[in-house]
Amino acid sequence: MFNIMVVDDNANTGRLMKAVLTRAGYNVFVAGDGNEALSLMDTKHTDLIVLDVMMPGMDGFEFAELLRSTGVNIPIIMVTAKDTPADKRKGFIAGTDDYMVKPVDEEEMLLRIAALLRRAKIVNEKRLTVGSTVFDYEALSVTQNGLTETLPQKEFMLIYKLLSSPGKIHTRRQLMDELWDMESETDERTVDVHINRLRDRFRDNGDFSIVTVRGLGYKAVCGGER
């Protein structure tokens, strides 16, 4: 059972968030401003924060900066009416993990929260389990059928990223930008080459597979799904 803290100065918004999140199976508590949020965090374990930006006193950006500067890495999703690219940039620089513009589609928000929690879990535990296959982030190794082998770094990062968000389609450019640090020598064909190597390596693994979505990119799917 995950604990989610909603920080919003508007009573009705807070009430609505609490209702939606509780129905989705989370344990929710609401703070009306940054200071109240900080005191709540002292007493309650928080897995994720849904953060409004426009609040009196400490605004959402300041709150996020404060948390990050003290080493708190709890996932934050900003939910705000501020919709310009400049605001989004400011949010991400302040340390938010995701950014949604009000009015939010409740279903989308729940999906994003689930994704953030899953990724946080993977990052925290530094391992990823898919069926009976286990990926170890520190060792860059994968254990399948009782055998452990290490992977070259780029290959490992690639499959780790794809499996962290199973079912999500990534374009070649997205994969390249994240894993290859904009090195000039790589191009999108390199991604294809690595994907093929991974497919070879995990050919007999029934826990997951890498699917090509024509024209768009790649996704990893679990088990026998498509």
Partner 1 sequence: MKKTLSIRTTTVIAVFFILVFASALTLFGFFALAALNYVGISKIHHPPYLIMLFCVSSVIGTLISVPLTRYFISPIKEIAKALDKVKAGNFTVRVAEEQRSAELSALAKGFNGMVEELGSTEFFRKDFISNFSHEFKTPIASIRGFAKELINEDLSKEQRQEYLQIIAYESERLSNMASNVLLLTNLEHTHKLPAGKPFSLDEQLRRCILLLERQWSYKELELDLELEEICYTGDEEMLSHIWVNLLSNGIKFSPMGGTLRVRLRRVKDKVEVSVTDMGPGIPADKIDKIFDRFYQADVSHKAEGNGLGLTLCKRIAELAEGSISVKSELGKGTRFTVSLPIK
Residue (93 or 216) nearer to partner 1, CB: 216
Tell me the three state secondary structure of residue 8.
coil
Q: Shortest distance, CB of residue 140 to partner 1, whole angstroms?
A: 28
Q: Shortest distance, CB of residue 173 to partner 1, whole angstroms?
A: 5
Q: Shortest distance, CB of residue 74 to partner 1, whole angstroms?
A: 26
Q: Shortest distance, CB of residue 175 to partner 1, whole angstroms?
A: 12
Q: Cα–Cα distance between 163 and 160 in angstroms, integer?
A: 5
Contacts with partner 1, residue ranges (CB under 8 A) = 85, 103, 108, 169, 171, 173, 213-217
Strands 76-80 and 48-51: parallel
- Reference 13, options 112, 75, 104, 76; nearest CA is 104
Residue (108 or 125) nearer to partner 1, CB: 108
Tokens 């991604």, residue? 191
Angle at CA of residue 225, ends 119 and 221, nearest 5°: 35
Residue (12 or 70) nearer to partner 1, CB: 12
Residue (39 or 54) nearer to partner 1, CB: 54
Q: Cα–Cα distance between 129 and 191 in angstroms, integer?
A: 23
Q: Cα–Cα distance between 68 and 49 in angstroms, integer?
A: 13
- Reference 8, options 80, 96, 116, 105; nearest CA is 80
Please list the alpha-helical segments (H only) found in 46-84.
60-69
Residue (5 or 20) nearer to partner 1, CB: 20
Residue (54 or 216) nearer to partner 1, CB: 216
For the chain, give the number of residues.
226
Q: Cα–Cα distance between 8 and 29 in angstroms, integer?
A: 11
Q: Shortest distance, CB of residue 21 to partner 1, whole angstroms?
A: 18
Q: Shortest distance, CB of residue 49 to partner 1, whole angstroms?
A: 24
